[in-house]
Structure 1
Amino acid sequence: MLKTDGINRQLFEKFAVNPGERPLLPPLSPKAQVTLMCRMLSREGWNEHIAGHITVRQPDGSVLTNPWELAWDELRASDIVTIDEDGKVLDSQWNITPAIGLHLQLHKLRPEINVVIHNHAHWSGIWANLQQVPPVHDQAGAYCGVDLPLYNEYEGTFEKNDLSRSAAVALGNAKWALLANHGALVVGKDLRQAHLRVITLEWRCKRAYEVKLAGGAPALPDEVVERLSITDANGFPFCWEAMARRELRDDPSILE
């Protein structure tokens, strides 16, 4: 899931280990990677109690997801649930949220998308409730470009299949979106790409709100944001690993 390609491939091949030949991370199972993602994003503010769900499609077509009953910051690898493409649980006694329908629709509509993440996040949630798209004020908020759609036809949660499909279609080819009066949604080809998008979205929203409270200031012009954005789909080199190491230092039981 954490393969690299594009302009960062040579960087990762050259610096995948430090001068002491120590790997950046221990070997991680797919379920451990999903668990780490949940822990990492919970720390970023995607942590509204037991709300939120991540789905990660596997090469065999099955999907890994977090269980409904557990908060993201308490998950261990053994808690991650495998489901089929229609949402049937394959290997767990845990349940999955009925709202997983939007994820499954997105996976079916967009074969290039292997990761779908939704939560009622802190900073992006503020802008979703304001029903406004936050401007970009700094480099870290510009990592994923300008375009940020606001899906503003709130009709409740996403349990119903027809509503899930309509929402998935409305999102088009977007890499992320604000869901008005609801939360945020991010998709990606893999965990590394999705991680960069989540942390960029939260940083952009946080800085925009802080600037707004301070009295406001001109945003970066769109052309500057696009110039600052990270065009490589693999995201910022080494960031995923650094954030994963932080979680493992705090709680090695994540891998259990």
Structure 2
Amino acid sequence: MNKYEGLNKSMVQQFAPRPGRKPLLPSLSKKAQVALMCRMLTREGWNEHIAGHITCRLDDGNILTNPWELAWEELTASDIVTLNPEGEIIDSDWNVTPAIGLHLQLHARRPDLHVAIHNHAHWSGIWANLQRVPPVYDQAGAYCGVDLPLYNEYEGTFENEATSLSAVEALGDAKWALLANHGSLVVGKDLRQAHLRAITLEWRSKRAYEVELAGGGAKPLSDEEVAKVSIADDNGFPFCWEAMARRELRLDPGIVD
């Protein structure tokens, strides 16, 4: 039995409220958290030059997002742009991607989600180009369950409103999707949940590709086995988001400026 078997919702909740003697992170503005998310996912392979966009809906309905001109690896809190629900810039001289409509439509149609992430991620992008769903081979690839929709009606980039709307409709109530010949899409109720989904998708995709390079033949985990080791708690893996955020802050404390 692996050490995570049986890690169910009650056990996660038991440990999550007790982080230890010291704060796991300093107090961070929401813009700083979004900038950290961009840095954290860059390191995970969500780093196709200046492509990709993260949106985070605030309690007042406004939306935070990364600027079009800057790569995720260089963003700081002061670069994060605030939009109104219609996508109009409120507080920045930066531009936002023309493909932001995909996110605006997601937020409008899915009141349960507050974070949406799209990029041409490295490992999951391979499977998107293969138009195949990667199997789950280990516990880290199983954290967010098995189901992974493949949206395979690629009609171009998401600047077109009809194209982005069809992608939103195809996603339905799923937590993530592969976009055939394009990239990856992850949504979540908050940054922590979306982070776990994004890194799990990339790990799952990487491991599955490595198994194929090794000649295949390995047996994927069954759906029942995946259910045993998946993280049932909506808040994600305890302390993981904070640990990855601390790593970025050690490398560049100026992220939060």
Taking structure 1 as the reference length, what is the TM-score of the superposition? 0.95
- Helix, strand or coil for the counterpart of 2:17? helix
Q: Give per-residue Cα distances to partners, 1:139-193, cap 9 Å, x unaligned.
A: 0000000000000000001112222111101110110000000000000000000
Q: Give per-residue Cα distances to partners, 1:179-218, cap 9 Å, x unaligned.
A: 0000000000000000000010000000000000101111
Structure 1 counterpart of 2:191? 191
Q: Give per-residue Cα distances to partners, 1:35-55, cap 9 Å, x unaligned.
A: 000000000000000000000
CA contact (8 A) 2:13 2:233 kept: no
Larger mean Cα displacement after TM superposition, 153-162 or 51-60? 153-162
- Helix, strand or coil for the counterpart of 2:56? strand
Instruction: Tell me how far apart the structure 1 counterparts of residues 166 and 214 of structure 2 sit (CA, whole Å).
Output: 38
Instruction: Tell me how far apart the structure 1 counterparts of residues 204 and 231 of structure 2 sit (CA, whole Å).
Output: 14
Structure 1 counterpart of 2:237? 236
Point out where structure 2 has 5 or more consecutive residues left out of the alignment: 1-8
Instruction: Tell me how far apart the structure 1 counterparts of residues 164 and 17 of structure 2 sit (CA, whole Å).
Output: 40
- Helix, strand or coil for the counterpart of 1:89? coil
Tell me whether 1:72 sits opposite 2:72 in the alignment: yes
Amino acid at match of 2:250: R
Q: Give per-residue Cα distances to partners, 1:37-94, cap 9 Å, x unaligned.
A: 0000000000000000000000000000000000000000000000011110000000
CA contact (8 A) 2:68 2:96 kept: yes
Instruction: Tell me how far apart the structure 1 counterparts of residues 111 and 143 of structure 2 sit (CA, whole Å).
Output: 24
Instruction: Tell me how far apart the structure 1 counterparts of residues 205 and 253 of structure 2 sit (CA, whole Å).
Output: 31
The correspondence for 1:11, drawn from 2, 15, 27, is 15
Structure 1 counterpart of 2:227? 226
Taking structure 2 as the reference length, what is the TM-score of the superposition? 0.94
TM-superposed deviation, 1:10: 4.0
Amino acid at match of 1:243: M
Amino acid at match of 2:243: A
- Helix, strand or coil for the counterpart of 1:94? coil
Instruction: Tell me how far apart the structure 1 counterparts of residues 144 and 240 of structure 2 sit (CA, whole Å).
Output: 14
Alignment of 1:1-256 (within 5 A): 7=10, 8-15=12-19, 18=20, 21-216=21-216, 217-256=218-257
TM-superposed deviation, 1:14: 2.0
Instruction: Tell me how far apart the structure 2 counterparts of residues 147 and 27 of structure 1 sit (CA, whole Å).
Output: 35
TM-superposed deviation, 1:11: 2.0
Amino acid at match of 2:154: Y
Instruction: Tell me how far apart the structure 2 counterparts of residues 11 and 229 of structure 1 sit (CA, whole Å).
Output: 16
Amino acid at match of 2:80: I
CA contact (8 A) 2:76 2:254 kept: yes
Q: Percent identity?
A: 74
Instruction: Tell me how far apart the structure 2 counterparts of residues 177 and 11 of structure 1 sit (CA, whole Å).
Output: 30
Point out where structure 1 has 5 or more consecutive residues left out of the alignment: 1-5
Structure 1 counterpart of 2:4? none
Larger mean Cα displacement after TM superposition, 215-224 or 25-34? 215-224
Amino acid at match of 2:130: L
Larger mean Cα displacement after TM superposition, 151-160 or 220-229? 220-229
Amino acid at match of 1:69: E
Instruction: Tell me how far apart the structure 2 counterparts of residues 206 and 171 of structure 1 sit (CA, whole Å).
Output: 22
Instruction: Tell me how far apart the structure 1 counterparts of residues 227 and 201 of structure 2 sit (CA, whole Å).
Output: 15
Q: Aligned residue pairs: how many? A: 247
Instruction: Tell me how far apart the structure 1 counterparts of residues 18 and 127 of structure 2 sit (CA, whole Å).
Output: 40
Instruction: Tell me how far apart the structure 1 counterparts of residues 17 and 125 of structure 2 sit (CA, whole Å).
Output: 37
Instruction: Tell me how far apart the structure 1 counterparts of residues 13 and 64 of structure 2 sit (CA, whole Å).
Output: 26
